[in-house]
C-alpha cells in the first residue's frame, strides 16, 4: 500500500494552482500508477456527453475508448456517483474487459467544485481482491482536494 500521506503531499505540490482538468488527471494518473505495484492500469474516463465516458489520461496498456454509464464498473460509478470496489471483476454483472489481465478494480467518481461528476478514476489490478476500503477512502480524499478545491 502506498504511503498516502506522502503521495497526497506530492500530488498537492505538483498540482498547486493548476485548473485544467486534463492536466490534473494526467499528473494524478502518473503519480498514482507508479506509487503501488498493485496498480496495473491507472487512469481517468471523462464525462464528455450525458451518459458517456471517454478515455482520458492514463498509465498502462490501452483502455476502452468509450464506456456508456449503463455498462461496467466505470459506468456504475459514474451513474451512481458511488465508489465501486470490486474484488473479482468476473463476478461483477456487465463488467467490460478492456484488458484480460484485470482481476479486481477500484473506480471512484471525480467531482468538480459544483459537485457534478466530471469523470471517474479507474484503477485495475492483475491481482484478485487487491484493493481495500482504506485505498478507496484515501484516494477519494486526494481527488476531492485536487478537483473540488482548485482555484
Q: Which long-range contacts (C-beta less than 8 Å, at least 24 apart) are formed by 95-98?
A: 96/64, 96/67, 96/71, 96/72, 98/41, 98/62, 98/63, 98/64, 98/124
User: When comparing pLDDT for 96 and 7, which is higher?
Assistant: 7
- C-alpha cell, 75: 459506468
* Residue located via cell numbers 456487465: 94
* Domains by residue range for the chain, with CATH: 4-148 (3.30.450.40)
Mean pLDDT of 136-150: 91
- pLDDT tens sequence across 45-104: 999 999 999 999 999 998 899 999 999 999 999 999 999 999 988 787 776 777 677 889
pLDDT at 27: 97
CA–CA dist 1, 53 (Å, integer): 28
- pLDDT tens sequence across 19-36: 999 999 999 999 999 999
CA–CA dist 67, 49 (Å, integer): 11
- pLDDT tens sequence across 95-134: 677 767 788 999 999 999 999 999 999 999 999 999 999 9
CA–CA dist 71, 146 (Å, integer): 27
pLDDT at 151 over 60: no
- pTM value? 0.94
pLDDT at 70: 94
109-137: b (≥16 Cβ within 10 Å) or e: bbbeeeeebbbbbbbbbbeeebbeeebbe
Q: Residue 140's pLDDT band (boundaries 50, 70, 90)?
A: very high
Report CA Rg, the chain: 14
Contacts of 121 (CB under 8 A, 6+ apart): 28, 32, 42, 43, 44, 107, 108, 110, 139, 143
- C-alpha cell, 44: 481517468
Amino acid at each position: 500500500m502506498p504511503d498516502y500521506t506522502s503521495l497526497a503531499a506530492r500530488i498537492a505540490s505538483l498540482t498547486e494552482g493548476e485548473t485544467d482538468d486534463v492536466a490534473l488527471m494526467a499528473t494524478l494518473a502518473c503519480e498514482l500508477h507508479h506509487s503501488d505495484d498493485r496498480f496495473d492500469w491507472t487512469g481517468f474516463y471523462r464525462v464528455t456527453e450525458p451518459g458517456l465516458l471517454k478515455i482520458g489520461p492514463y498509465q498502462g496498456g490501452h483502455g476502452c475508448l468509450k464506456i456508456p454509464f449503463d455498462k461496467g464498473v466505470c459506468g456504475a460509478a459514474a451513474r451512481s456517483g458511488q465508489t465501486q470496489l470490486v474484488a473479482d471483476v468476473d463476478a461483477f454483472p456487465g463488467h467490460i474487459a478492456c484488458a484480460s489481465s484485470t482481476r479486481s478494480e477500484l473506480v471512484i467518481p471525480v467531482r468538480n467544485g459544483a459537485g457534478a461528476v466530471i469523470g471517474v478514476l479507474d484503477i485495475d489490478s492483475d491481482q484478485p481482491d487487491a484493493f481495500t476500503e482504506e485505498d478507496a477512502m484515501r484516494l477519494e480524499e486526494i481527488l476531492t482536494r485536487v478537483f473540488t478545491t482548485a482555484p
